[in-house]
Chains A and B, each alone.
Chain A
Amino acid sequence: MPQQQIETLSFEDALTQLEAIVRDLEQGGTPLEKSIEAYERGVALKKHCETKLSDAKAKIEKITINKDGALKTEPLDQE
């Protein structure tokens, strides 16, 4: 598996890779050095996933179009 830069991974891909690493390690049989490498990548993936999950701010905007056709956004009034 080519080791893609973790920062560029989508949440889903990062989670899939993390789970694959966990499964591999749990099954054992991986050489020690490889295991440690995998563990470190696992920790980084977990951090990445957490970052993605913590980025959960709601931002609700409404699109308006000016008479000149320009498009802009403004917060949506929610009653």
Chain B
Amino acid sequence: MLDNEAPKSNVPEFSVGELAFSLKKTLEENYGRVRVRGELSRVSVAGSGHMYSGLKDDQAVIDLICWKGTMSKLSVKPEEGLEVICTGRISTYPARSNYQLIIESMELAGEGALLKMLEERKKKLAAEGLFDESRKQPLPFLPHTIGVITSPTGAVIRDILHRLQDRFPRHVLVWPALVQGKGAAEQITAAIDGFQNIHNHGQPKPDLLIIARGGGSLEDLMPFNEENVVRAIANSTIPIISAVGHETDTTLADFAADIRAPTPTGAAEMAVPVRMNLMAQVLDDEQRLVSAIGRMLNEYRHKLEAHAAKLGDPAALLENRTQRLDHVNERLSGVFREYLGRKNQSMIEAGAKLRHPKDRLMDAEKTLARWSEQLFATVPKMTKDLSAKLEHAGKMLEAYSFENVLKRGFAVIQDTSGTLITEAAQTTTNQSVRIRFKENNTVGAVIGDGSTASKSIKPPTKKKTPKPKDDDRQETLF
């Protein structure tokens, strides 16, 4: 056949369709199963449910297709920028003659990529507040029913049940769930949600949930990092203890749980207190209660007895009082008698001092007589003294009499009414006056004009100047 075509060209001639399908066949035969590592880009899920994307590295890009049926089985949720290893086959789309990788499975390319993805998811969920302390619920002290979400077989559930049995046997509802691989996250989420309203199915609602899984690789623990699981835990109205992996493994579920236990056994220890300890505590409380009330009653009894003793025998109390009354009474009458005696004595004494009025009269008479005698004795002496004084006074009187002055040559001038004239100013010209000399001889006279006589009269006036003293005397003598 080739030989026949040779003259025209030794290159065979295909129709477009033949070539396209030939290429498709070649590619599918040679690249029927490949593993390609790259970064997802331009991830988009069409309305049909198929995913179209690109896988790139720093040199090239290849188109990716993931059919809807495969999508649901992927262990990795395709995300922009995710470093993945895709397994699938290369095929072409003859209508456009471009080739693409049809994905059968997808895995994360190494731990670094996985951790990076987890870190970003953690940030996102934390920003939503799913890990906030304020969301954490306190664990009940003693739960009645404990819901456990884990694999129903294996060491984990056994460890939990054993430790619960040791500490405080409880009613445990185990919700079996896959804890790794495909579908695990969905089953765990369904179990958490299922427990929230299990009471609608005639089952007691647990007051505590434990979500547990043994240790494993990062990939094994991936379901506990899934967003739906984390959200279900955060939204649970029942407090949740997470016990996923070993203590060093931390999943996002641990952040969302109300408390994280290091191991499944640790979760059981957090879930219930130790019954024997509580028993001992209650018994101890009971003993303390009984001894406290006993002690208190004893105390009250002793107090009562002490007070009763202080009260004493009422009869004895009365006797004592009677005796005291008698004693006081006796003393009272004694005192009274004594008082009367004393009063009597002083009365007698006073009576003795009291004298008869007759005696007192006689005494008074005697005194009177004595005084009268003395009085009479003084009379003669008094009269004698008096006459002597009288005589002396008479002499004195005579000595000072104005008659005697007149005898010495002085005269007294009087006006007609007898008023004594002692000064010239008392006189007027032509006034009639009387001049009296010794032995009561009186002559009339008239005061003359002072013109000539004034000089001659003046001397006597001068002489008269010392007179006022005499006049004063005279006057007193009058």
Indicate the size class of the contact surface on chain A. Answer: 35 or more
Contact B142 A12 (CB under 8 A): yes
Contact B142 A10 (CB under 8 A): yes
Contact A61 B174 (CB under 8 A): yes
With known contacts A18-B282, A71-B194, A62–B289 Cβ distance under 8 A: no
Contact B142 A11 (CB under 8 A): yes
Contact A78 B161 (CB under 8 A): yes
Contact B194 A25 (CB under 8 A): no
Tell me the A1-51 residues at the B interface (CB within 8 Å): 10-12, 15, 18-19, 21-22, 25-26, 28, 30, 32, 35-36, 39, 42-43, 46, 49-50
Q: Does B42 contact A (CB under 8 A)?
A: no
- Residues on the B chain within 8 Å of A59, using CB: 170-172
Main secondary structure of the interface of B (DSSP, over half): helix
- Residues on the A chain within 8 Å of B169, using CB: 56-58
- Residues on the B chain within 8 Å of A36, using CB: 293
Nearest B residue to A71 via CB reads B201
Contact of B152 among A52, A53, A76 (CB under 8 A): A76
With known contacts A43-B289, A71-B203, A50–B282 Cβ distance under 8 A: yes
- Residues on the A chain within 8 Å of B158, using CB: 78-79
- Residues on the A chain within 8 Å of B295, using CB: 28
Contact of A15 among B173, B282, B300 (CB under 8 A): B282
Shortest 9 CB-CB contacts between residues of A and residues of B = A58-B169, A12-B141, A25-B292, A71-B201, A39-B293, A59-B171, A42-B289, A49-B282, A22-B288
- Residues on the A chain within 8 Å of B173, using CB: 61-63, 73
Nearest A residue to B169 via CB reads A58
Bound Cα distance from A36 to B296, whole angstroms: 10
With known contacts A53-B279, A60-B174, A63-B176, A28–B299 Cβ distance under 8 A: yes
Nearest A residue to B154 via CB reads A79
- Residues on the B chain within 8 Å of A64, using CB: 176
CB of B155, distance to nearest CB on chain A (Å): 11
Bound Cα distance from A61 to B292, whole angstroms: 45
If A15-B285, A50-B282 are given as contacts, then 7 extra A-B residue pairs at C-beta distance below 8 Å, sorted by A number, are A25-B293, A36-B293, A56-B170, A60-B161, A70-B201, A73-B173, A76-B152
Contact A71 B142 (CB under 8 A): no
Question: Could you say which of B164, B168, B169 has the most chain A C-beta atoms within 10 Å of its C-beta?
Answer: B169
Bound Cα distance from A50 to B168, whole angstroms: 13
With known contacts A35-B296, A60-B161, A71-B203, A25–B289 Cβ distance under 8 A: yes
